Amino acid sequence: MAIDLSQFSELQKHSKASFNNHKKMVKQMMVGKVVRCELCGQPLTLYTPEKSEHSGIRCDKGCTDVALDFC
Ligand SMILES: [Zn+2]
């Protein structure tokens, strides 16, 4: 699949911003704060690698499904 370079840098910008946003969400959840899904308003669940093979942040409905890398 060919990707337009301008599109690609747009994508990178976007993923960097959401990466920082996700890190913030993880921090909040780790201190026990409830973070809600932007779409359905359900509380998000943090899945750590110990809890789940697919670590990430997910809501019950599945509209938020963020894969995270815990390094
Ligand atoms: Zn949701």
Going by pLDDT thresholds of 50, 70 and 90, the confidence category of residue 12 is confident
Residue 5: how many other CB atoms lie within 10 Å: 7
What residues does the ion ligand 1 have nearby, CB within 5 Å?
37, 39-40, 59, 61, 63-64
| pLDDT, position 2 | 67
CB proximity list for 52: less than 8 A, separation 6 or greater: none
- Domain encompassing residue 11: 5-67
Mean pLDDT score of the chain: 87
| Overall number of domains in the chain | 1
Q: What is the pTM of this model?
A: 0.69
3-state secondary structure of 65: strand
Percent of the chain's residues with pLDDT above 90: 48
Cα 41 to ligand 1 centre (Å):
6
| pLDDT, position 71 | 47
Q: What is the dihedral of CA 13, 14, 15, 17, to 10 degrees?
A: 90
- Residue 43 pLDDT greater than 90, yes or no: yes
| Burial class (CB within 10 angstroms; exposed 0-12, middle 13-18, buried 19+) of 22 | middle
Cα 7 to ligand 1 centre (Å):
27
